[in-house]
Each structure stands twice: as C-alpha cells, then as structure tokens.
Structure 1
Amino acid sequence: MSDLERIARGEVSVEEAGRLMKEGLSSGEDITKVYSIYQRLTWLMMCERRRDEELRRWHRTIYQTAQIIRQQEASNALDIASRIDGLADLIKISVGMSDGPTRGEIIQDSPETKILDRLSIIREYVPRSDLEREFDIRPSSLSRILTSLVFNGLIERDPGSTEPRYRSC
C-alpha cells in the first residue's frame, strides 16, 4: 500500500501526512491524486465524527498543501487548490462544531435543555417549525442549536423527510 493510500485511510499522523504530501508534490505526484486522497480522508473524518484536537492540525496541513499546489505550473493547479481549500473548510467547520456542548455541559433551562427535554418526552420526530413556535427561538439560533445537538449525537434528523424533523437519540 502506498503512503498516500495510508493517508486516505487515516493510518498516518497529521505530521507524517504533511511530510509525505510535501515529498510527493516535490517529486511530481499528480495533484488530482492528492486531491482525491484528501477528499477520502475528509469523508472518513466526517463519518467518524471526529472531535479531537488533531482536526485543527489536519485543517492547517490540508490548507498548506493547497498553498503548495497553487505554486505549481500545472494548468489545473488553481482549480485543484481551490477544491482542497474546500476540504480544509469542511474540517474547519467540523472543528467549530466540536466545540459544542455535550448533554452534561448544557446549562439547565437553556434552549438546548428545553429542546432535548421536549424531544425525549415525545420520542417521535418533531417538525422544526413546531420547535420554533413552541420555544420562540429565532430561526438562525434554532438552526445553530439543532445542528450542534445533531453533530454531538444528542438528537437526530429524520433522513426521510423533506421538512426538517428531529427526535432524541
């Protein structure tokens, strides 16, 4: 198995991955393959719902790789670098979401607690519009709260509904 394949599978440290990518790019590695490797790694990290400090380092490493690619003379270098920036942005968003609360960290009587309590009593999917009306929360605030609760595994969104609906996990 190649070193780049090990990166895609998340089998190397972020520091080793950065070194391997720099070496690969300096020795003429195909930049579309580099993008593909980072695309698979990003998908893996999102599926694993990783919330560790290492995500911040992955963000920097992937962003730095995009900067290296921008310096190359390949005709598609800017396009590939922009795509890699997009992957780094996904990880950055994930890092921000990982700073969200766990059930034990949520303050009693906060909107998060009220929503969790309501969903745990109902035990069925509740439309977002019902939550918005019941708790008199601005749509942007409710969106932030629900996204954070889903990301942290405290509630889940109904995958089969066109209208956003949520229930307790």
Structure 2
Amino acid sequence: MGGMGLTLPSPAKGSEVLFVAAVPLRASRGPPQLLMSTAYSLNLSWDLQHFMVLSTSPALTLPSQVMVFDFQPQDPENIYSAISALSGSKLPGVVQIRKMKNLPKTRCWRVGSCNYVDVVDAVIKFNSCWDTDLVVGQNDCRHYTNGLVEYLTGEKYVLDRLRRNQKTIN
C-alpha cells in the first residue's frame, strides 16, 4: 500500500461484497451543477464522475444495508472549491462513511469481496492514514477508490480495469 504504513487487520474472508460506483460530480447550484449532471448523463468523460466504494452483506435484508466509502472536498458545492480543483491547488477534503438504501442502478460494478471480516473497521483504519489534502489528478476520489479497493481486496488499479471494460462495451 503505497507507503501508507498501515498495519493490516488479520485477513479472514468476510462476506462483504464490494462495488465501485460513479455518480455526477457535485458543483455549485445553477449552471455548474447542470453542466456536471449533463456531462454525466451523456457519458462525456470518465474523469467527470465521482467514484466511491460500496459494500453490501448478502446476509442483510434490512434497508440501509449498503455502506458507502468516499473522499471528496469538504464543501463540494462551494465555487471556491471548484476554482481550487480546476487550478490544481490543494483543498480540504473529507473521507466519509455513510449508508445508502440501495445500490445505484447504473454505473455500479461489482469488484470483489472484502478480505476482512469487518469491512467498516478496515475502512476506518485505511481512512486514518489517508491524506485529506485533495488535489485533483494527484489525490482525489479516483486515488482513494483505487487505494481502498486494493487494501480491501488486493486488486490494484481497479478503475483502470473498469475503464478498459467500458471502452470495449461502447
């Protein structure tokens, strides 16, 4: 794991199934938000999407069974965040763990199973070492997604594989 110095939990195959999902980038209300949503809807660019890792447990049947793990700007709808992102400047980021009722119906790919019994504990350990200075193209949601999937499953560069598969489908 790229020099993060993590002490890995004891490997024990868990039942958590992992997915990567892409959603539209968030932006300031009005024209910027409309532009991002349109670019996403028209599938104009792989890079104009926000990537996140999701986990589900086949044993769960209750609502809110999908856990979401992602990295984004602290205030993604602030115009100054957009300006900082476009200029390549550092901006404050935040790692998040939250729940979602269902997996997204589109742009959601199964990427494997978690190598650890408790995926949330493993993600908390990973997040504690994550640099939260967000720099687009150097340390953003794509890097977080690739790093977290590698940490949880052992697969490197999952987004590269998914992107290649998208090109062969289109």
Q: Do both proteins adopt the same fold according to a TM-score greater than 0.5, normalized to the shorter chain? A: no
* Bigger strand fraction: 2
Larger radius of gyration: 1
- Please classify the TM superposition score into its range, dividing by the shorter chain length: under 0.3
Which structure has more relative contact order (CA 8 Å, sep 6+)? It is 2
Output the TM-score relative to the length of structure 2: 0.21
Structure 1 length as normaliser, TM-score? 0.22
